[in-house]
Protein backbone atom coordinates (compact mmCIF):
# COMPACT_ATOMS: atom_id res chain seq x y z
CA UNK A 1 0.00 0.00 0.00
CA UNK A 2 2.81 2.43 0.87
CA UNK A 3 4.46 1.95 -2.49
CA UNK A 4 1.18 2.60 -4.24
CA UNK A 5 1.08 6.03 -2.65
CA UNK A 6 4.13 7.16 -4.58
CA UNK A 7 2.12 7.86 -7.73
CA UNK A 8 -0.53 10.03 -6.05
CA UNK A 9 1.89 11.64 -3.58
CA UNK A 10 5.46 11.64 -4.95
CA UNK A 11 6.99 13.66 -2.09
CA UNK A 12 7.60 12.22 1.36
CA UNK A 13 8.54 15.47 3.13
CA UNK A 14 6.53 18.66 2.70
CA UNK A 15 7.72 21.98 4.08
CA UNK A 16 4.59 24.14 4.08
CA UNK A 17 5.51 27.72 4.84
CA UNK A 18 4.11 31.23 4.67
CA UNK A 19 2.02 33.70 6.63
CA UNK A 20 -1.43 32.48 5.63
CA UNK A 21 -2.62 30.06 8.33
CA UNK A 22 -5.64 28.81 6.43
CA UNK A 23 -3.64 27.89 3.35
CA UNK A 24 -1.01 26.07 5.39
CA UNK A 25 -3.68 24.02 7.12
CA UNK A 26 -5.37 23.34 3.78
CA UNK A 27 -2.13 22.10 2.21
CA UNK A 28 -1.52 19.85 5.21
CA UNK A 29 -5.04 18.49 4.89
CA UNK A 30 -4.41 17.74 1.21
CA UNK A 31 -1.53 15.46 2.14
CA UNK A 32 -3.66 13.69 4.74
CA UNK A 33 -6.52 13.31 2.26
CA UNK A 34 -4.21 11.75 -0.32
CA UNK A 35 -2.95 9.26 2.26
CA UNK A 36 -6.27 8.53 3.94
CA UNK A 37 -7.38 6.23 1.12
CA UNK A 38 -5.38 3.56 2.89
CA UNK A 39 -7.38 1.51 5.39
CA UNK A 40 -4.34 1.46 7.65
CA UNK A 41 -3.72 5.22 7.76
CA UNK A 42 -2.55 7.06 10.87
CA UNK A 43 -2.20 10.83 11.36
CA UNK A 44 0.05 12.19 14.10
CA UNK A 45 0.17 15.90 15.00
CA UNK A 46 3.05 17.35 17.02
CA UNK A 47 3.47 20.86 18.40
CA UNK A 48 7.19 21.34 17.76
CA UNK A 49 8.11 23.83 20.53
CA UNK A 50 6.35 21.77 23.19
CA UNK A 51 7.65 18.39 22.04
CA UNK A 52 11.21 19.41 21.12
CA UNK A 53 13.17 18.44 18.05
CA UNK A 54 14.27 15.07 19.46
CA UNK A 55 10.68 13.94 19.97
CA UNK A 56 9.66 15.27 16.56
CA UNK A 57 12.40 13.34 14.80
CA UNK A 58 11.75 10.28 16.95
CA UNK A 59 8.13 10.27 15.80
CA UNK A 60 9.10 10.84 12.17
CA UNK A 61 11.79 8.17 12.07
CA UNK A 62 9.87 5.46 13.90
CA UNK A 63 7.70 3.18 11.81
CA UNK A 64 4.30 1.96 12.96
CA UNK A 65 3.52 -1.65 13.78
CA UNK A 66 -0.19 -1.21 13.11
CA UNK A 67 -0.38 1.25 10.21
CA UNK A 68 1.16 0.96 6.77
CA UNK A 69 0.79 4.69 6.05
CA UNK A 70 1.54 7.48 8.53
CA UNK A 71 1.35 11.25 8.21
CA UNK A 72 3.38 13.11 10.83
CA UNK A 73 2.38 16.78 10.97
CA UNK A 74 4.87 19.09 12.69
CA UNK A 75 3.23 22.38 13.68
CA UNK A 76 4.76 25.71 14.77
CA UNK A 77 8.22 24.63 13.63
CA UNK A 78 9.25 28.28 13.28
CA UNK A 79 9.17 28.54 17.09
CA UNK A 80 12.04 26.09 17.53
CA UNK A 81 15.51 27.37 18.34
CA UNK A 82 17.76 27.99 15.34
CA UNK A 83 19.98 24.99 16.11
CA UNK A 84 16.95 22.71 16.43
CA UNK A 85 15.48 23.98 13.17
CA UNK A 86 18.75 23.23 11.41
CA UNK A 87 18.82 19.74 12.90
CA UNK A 88 15.21 19.10 11.87
CA UNK A 89 15.79 20.18 8.27
CA UNK A 90 19.07 18.32 7.92
CA UNK A 91 17.61 15.11 9.34
CA UNK A 92 14.72 15.16 6.87
CA UNK A 93 16.61 16.24 3.75
CA UNK A 94 20.20 15.05 3.79
CA UNK A 95 21.50 11.77 2.42
CA UNK A 96 21.28 9.89 -0.85
CA UNK A 97 17.70 8.74 -0.25
CA UNK A 98 14.70 9.55 1.91
CA UNK A 99 15.53 8.81 5.57
CA UNK A 100 11.93 8.12 6.59
CA UNK A 101 10.59 4.60 7.19
CA UNK A 102 8.55 3.21 4.32
CA UNK A 103 5.00 4.55 4.40
CA UNK A 104 5.83 7.57 6.56
CA UNK A 105 5.18 11.10 5.30
CA UNK A 106 6.09 14.30 7.13
CA UNK A 107 4.56 17.77 6.75
CA UNK A 108 6.32 20.64 8.51
CA UNK A 109 4.21 23.78 9.02
CA UNK A 110 6.26 26.99 9.19
CA UNK A 111 4.40 30.27 9.85
CA UNK A 112 6.89 32.61 8.23
CA UNK A 113 7.40 33.75 4.66
CA UNK A 114 11.14 33.03 4.73
CA UNK A 115 12.08 29.37 4.35
CA UNK A 116 14.50 27.80 4.78
CA UNK A 117 15.72 30.17 7.48
CA UNK A 118 19.22 31.60 7.65
CA UNK A 119 21.78 28.90 8.38
CA UNK A 120 19.73 26.03 6.97
CA UNK A 121 19.80 24.60 3.46
CA UNK A 122 17.86 21.97 1.56
CA UNK A 123 20.02 19.92 -0.82
CA UNK A 124 18.91 20.07 -4.45
CA UNK A 125 19.31 16.30 -4.72
CA UNK A 126 16.66 15.72 -2.04
CA UNK A 127 14.05 14.62 -4.57
CA UNK A 128 11.66 13.45 -1.84
CA UNK A 129 11.27 17.00 -0.50
CA UNK A 130 8.64 19.51 -1.59
CA UNK A 131 8.37 23.20 -0.61
CA UNK A 132 4.91 24.78 -0.65
CA UNK A 133 4.57 28.53 -0.13
CA UNK A 134 1.35 29.92 1.34
CA UNK A 135 1.36 33.66 0.72
CA UNK A 136 -1.00 36.17 2.25
CA UNK A 137 -4.04 36.67 0.05
CA UNK A 138 -4.72 39.86 -1.90
CA UNK A 139 -8.23 41.31 -1.93
CA UNK A 140 -9.24 39.66 -5.21
CA UNK A 141 -8.03 36.28 -3.95
CA UNK A 142 -9.78 36.77 -0.61
CA UNK A 143 -13.01 37.70 -2.38
CA UNK A 144 -12.89 34.57 -4.53
CA UNK A 145 -12.03 32.45 -1.50
CA UNK A 146 -14.96 33.96 0.38
CA UNK A 147 -17.37 33.14 -2.43
CA UNK A 148 -16.07 29.59 -2.84
CA UNK A 149 -15.94 28.85 0.88
CA UNK A 150 -19.48 30.10 1.47
CA UNK A 151 -20.78 28.16 -1.52
CA UNK A 152 -19.09 25.03 -0.18
CA UNK A 153 -21.20 25.17 2.99
CA UNK A 154 -24.39 26.01 1.15
CA UNK A 155 -24.52 29.80 1.40
CA UNK A 156 -24.65 32.36 -1.39
CA UNK A 157 -23.27 35.80 -0.54
CA UNK A 158 -24.70 38.94 -2.10
CA UNK A 159 -22.16 41.50 -3.30
CA UNK A 160 -22.78 43.78 -0.34
CA UNK A 161 -22.35 40.82 2.03
CA UNK A 162 -18.91 40.08 0.61
CA UNK A 163 -18.02 43.77 0.80
CA UNK A 164 -19.09 43.99 4.44
CA UNK A 165 -17.09 40.91 5.45
CA UNK A 166 -13.89 41.94 3.69
CA UNK A 167 -14.14 45.52 4.91
CA UNK A 168 -14.30 44.27 8.47
CA UNK A 169 -11.85 41.36 8.28
CA UNK A 170 -9.33 42.24 5.60
CA UNK A 171 -7.77 39.35 3.68
CA UNK A 172 -6.96 36.94 6.52
CA UNK A 173 -8.51 33.73 5.17
CA UNK A 174 -8.75 32.09 8.59
CA UNK A 175 -10.79 35.01 9.92
CA UNK A 176 -12.91 35.07 6.77
CA UNK A 177 -13.73 31.36 7.08
CA UNK A 178 -14.51 31.72 10.79
CA UNK A 179 -16.89 34.63 10.22
CA UNK A 180 -18.72 32.82 7.42
CA UNK A 181 -19.20 29.88 9.79
CA UNK A 182 -20.67 32.24 12.38
CA UNK A 183 -22.91 33.78 9.75
CA UNK A 184 -24.30 30.35 8.82
CA UNK A 185 -25.00 29.62 12.49
CA UNK A 186 -26.70 32.99 12.93
CA UNK A 187 -28.91 32.62 9.84
CA UNK A 188 -29.87 29.01 10.46
CA UNK A 189 -29.91 26.03 8.09
CA UNK A 190 -32.91 27.20 6.05
CA UNK A 191 -31.35 30.47 4.85
CA UNK A 192 -29.34 30.00 1.66
CA UNK A 193 -28.49 33.60 0.77
CA UNK A 194 -26.94 36.33 2.92
CA UNK A 195 -27.03 40.09 2.37
CA UNK A 196 -24.93 42.90 3.75
CA UNK A 197 -27.62 43.57 6.34
CA UNK A 198 -27.38 39.95 7.51
CA UNK A 199 -23.63 40.37 7.93
CA UNK A 200 -24.02 43.59 9.88
CA UNK A 201 -26.56 42.01 12.21
CA UNK A 202 -24.59 38.80 12.69
CA UNK A 203 -20.94 39.80 12.79
CA UNK A 204 -20.30 43.18 11.29
CA UNK A 205 -21.75 46.12 13.13
CA UNK A 206 -23.08 44.71 16.36
CA UNK A 207 -22.37 46.94 19.33
CA UNK A 208 -19.78 44.45 20.46
CA UNK A 209 -18.57 41.10 19.26
CA UNK A 210 -19.01 38.00 21.36
CA UNK A 211 -16.60 37.10 24.11
CA UNK A 212 -15.79 34.02 22.03
CA UNK A 213 -14.06 36.36 19.57
CA UNK A 214 -11.84 37.59 22.41
CA UNK A 215 -10.95 34.00 23.27
CA UNK A 216 -10.11 33.30 19.63
CA UNK A 217 -7.90 36.38 19.36
CA UNK A 218 -6.00 35.51 22.54
CA UNK A 219 -5.39 31.88 21.56
CA UNK A 220 -4.17 33.08 18.16
CA UNK A 221 -1.79 35.52 19.87
CA UNK A 222 -3.42 38.49 18.13
CA UNK A 223 -2.82 41.16 20.77
CA UNK A 224 -4.04 44.14 18.75
CA UNK A 225 -7.39 42.52 17.94
CA UNK A 226 -7.81 41.24 21.50
CA UNK A 227 -7.29 44.71 22.97
CA UNK A 228 -9.63 46.19 20.36
CA UNK A 229 -12.35 43.82 21.59
CA UNK A 230 -11.68 44.63 25.24
CA UNK A 231 -12.04 48.36 24.53
CA UNK A 232 -15.18 47.65 22.52
CA UNK A 233 -16.75 45.81 25.45
CA UNK A 234 -16.00 48.72 27.78
CA UNK A 235 -17.20 51.46 25.46
CA UNK A 236 -20.43 49.73 24.47
CA UNK A 237 -23.68 51.58 25.13
CA UNK A 238 -25.05 48.29 26.41
CA UNK A 239 -24.29 47.25 30.00
CA UNK A 240 -20.54 46.93 30.39
CA UNK A 241 -19.15 43.40 30.30
CA UNK A 242 -17.24 42.98 33.58
CA UNK A 243 -13.57 42.09 33.48
CA UNK A 244 -14.25 39.11 35.72
CA UNK A 245 -16.76 37.73 33.21
CA UNK A 246 -14.22 38.04 30.40
CA UNK A 247 -11.56 36.42 32.57
CA UNK A 248 -13.86 33.54 33.48
CA UNK A 249 -14.70 32.97 29.82
CA UNK A 250 -11.03 32.86 28.82
CA UNK A 251 -10.28 30.43 31.66
CA UNK A 252 -13.19 28.20 30.62
CA UNK A 253 -11.94 28.12 27.02
CA UNK A 254 -8.41 27.19 28.11
CA UNK A 255 -9.72 24.42 30.37
CA UNK A 256 -11.75 23.10 27.44
CA UNK A 257 -8.60 23.10 25.32
CA UNK A 258 -6.66 21.21 27.99
CA UNK A 259 -9.41 18.59 28.03
CA UNK A 260 -9.28 18.40 24.24
CA UNK A 261 -5.49 18.10 24.29
CA UNK A 262 -5.75 15.17 26.70
CA UNK A 263 -8.06 13.37 24.30
CA UNK A 264 -5.78 14.12 21.36
CA UNK A 265 -2.81 12.74 23.30
CA UNK A 266 -4.75 9.48 23.64
CA UNK A 267 -4.74 9.21 19.86
CA UNK A 268 -8.34 10.25 19.30
CA UNK A 269 -9.19 11.81 15.97
CA UNK A 270 -10.82 15.21 15.59
CA UNK A 271 -14.35 13.92 15.00
CA UNK A 272 -14.06 11.54 17.98
CA UNK A 273 -12.85 14.37 20.20
CA UNK A 274 -15.70 16.64 19.11
CA UNK A 275 -18.27 13.93 19.78
CA UNK A 276 -16.92 13.18 23.26
CA UNK A 277 -16.59 16.84 24.26
CA UNK A 278 -20.16 17.61 23.17
CA UNK A 279 -21.48 14.64 25.10
CA UNK A 280 -19.47 15.23 28.28
CA UNK A 281 -20.19 18.96 28.46
CA UNK A 282 -23.67 18.80 26.91
CA UNK A 283 -22.73 21.46 24.37
CA UNK A 284 -25.00 22.62 21.57
CA UNK A 285 -22.12 24.17 19.66
CA UNK A 286 -22.10 23.15 15.96
CA UNK A 287 -19.51 20.49 15.13
CA UNK A 288 -17.59 22.68 12.69
CA UNK A 289 -17.01 25.31 15.39
CA UNK A 290 -15.80 22.70 17.88
CA UNK A 291 -13.53 21.30 15.18
CA UNK A 292 -11.88 24.72 14.99
CA UNK A 293 -11.46 24.69 18.77
CA UNK A 294 -9.83 21.27 18.50
CA UNK A 295 -7.44 22.56 15.85
CA UNK A 296 -6.64 25.62 17.97
CA UNK A 297 -5.99 23.39 20.98
CA UNK A 298 -3.70 21.21 18.90
CA UNK A 299 -1.69 24.22 17.73
CA UNK A 300 -1.55 25.79 21.20
CA UNK A 301 -0.28 22.69 22.98
CA UNK A 302 -0.77 21.77 26.67
CA UNK A 303 2.35 23.56 27.91
CA UNK A 304 1.26 26.99 26.76
CA UNK A 305 -2.37 26.45 27.77
CA UNK A 306 -1.28 25.60 31.32
CA UNK A 307 1.01 28.63 31.55
CA UNK A 308 -1.82 30.84 30.33
CA UNK A 309 -4.11 29.53 33.08
CA UNK A 310 -1.45 30.33 35.69
CA UNK A 311 -1.24 33.87 34.34
CA UNK A 312 -5.03 34.19 34.57
CA UNK A 313 -4.83 33.19 38.22
CA UNK A 314 -2.33 35.97 38.86
CA UNK A 315 -4.61 38.45 37.09
CA UNK A 316 -7.59 37.32 39.15
CA UNK A 317 -5.71 38.01 42.39
CA UNK A 318 -4.55 41.42 41.17
CA UNK A 319 -8.06 42.37 40.08
CA UNK A 320 -9.35 41.49 43.54
CA UNK A 321 -6.74 43.60 45.28
CA UNK A 322 -3.78 41.23 45.43
CA UNK A 323 -3.33 38.35 47.84
CA UNK A 324 0.12 37.08 46.89
CA UNK A 325 3.56 38.43 47.73
CA UNK A 326 4.28 39.14 44.07
CA UNK A 327 0.95 40.85 43.38
CA UNK A 328 0.96 44.57 42.80
CA UNK A 329 -1.75 47.06 43.68
CA UNK A 330 -2.95 48.22 40.27
CA UNK A 331 -6.39 49.04 38.94
CA UNK A 332 -8.71 46.29 37.76
CA UNK A 333 -8.75 47.42 34.12
CA UNK A 334 -4.98 47.73 34.03
CA UNK A 335 -4.54 44.30 35.60
CA UNK A 336 -6.87 42.70 33.07
CA UNK A 337 -5.32 44.52 30.09
CA UNK A 338 -1.85 43.46 31.18
CA UNK A 339 -3.03 39.86 31.48
CA UNK A 340 -4.56 39.89 27.98
CA UNK A 341 -1.30 41.12 26.47
CA UNK A 342 0.69 38.51 28.40
CA UNK A 343 -1.70 35.75 27.31
CA UNK A 344 -1.27 36.72 23.67
CA UNK A 345 2.49 36.68 24.13
CA UNK A 346 2.35 33.24 25.78
CA UNK A 347 0.17 31.91 22.96
CA UNK A 348 2.88 32.81 20.46
CA UNK A 349 5.87 31.88 22.64
Q: Is 90 exceeded by the pLDDT of residue 19? A: no
Q: How far is residue 80's CA from residue 147's CA, in Å, rounded to a whole number?
A: 36
Name which of 11-20, 67-76, 121-130, 177-186 the model is least confident about. Answer: 177-186
Residues 6 or more apart whose CB falls under 8 angstroms from that of 172 comprise 20, 21, 22, 137
Dump pLDDT digits (tens) for 184-222.
Answer: 888 888 889 999 888 877 764 444 456 777 888 899 888
For residues 247 and 260, what is the distance between their CA atoms, to the nearest angstrom?
Answer: 20
pLDDT digits 0-9 by tens, 25-50: 899 999 999 898 777 888 899 989 88
Question: Is it the case that residue 138 has pLDDT exceeding 60?
Answer: yes
Rounded to whole angstroms, the Cα distance separating 305 from 283 reads: 21
Which one has a higher pLDDT value, 78 or 189?
A: 78
Tell me the whole-structure pTM to 2 decimals.
0.58
Structural domains in the chain, CATH included, are 7-133 (3.40.50.300), 139-206 (1.10.8.60), 219-348 (1.20.272)
Amino acid sequence: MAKGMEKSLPYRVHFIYGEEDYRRDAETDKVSAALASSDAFEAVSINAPDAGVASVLGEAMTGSLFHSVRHVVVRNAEELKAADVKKLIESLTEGSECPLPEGTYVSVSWADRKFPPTGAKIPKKASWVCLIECKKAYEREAREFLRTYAKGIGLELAQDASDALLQRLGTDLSLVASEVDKLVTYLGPDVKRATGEDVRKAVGEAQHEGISDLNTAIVAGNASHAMHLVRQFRESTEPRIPNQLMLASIASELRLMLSIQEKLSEGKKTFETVKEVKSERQLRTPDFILERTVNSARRLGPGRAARMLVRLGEADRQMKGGTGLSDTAIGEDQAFDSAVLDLCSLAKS
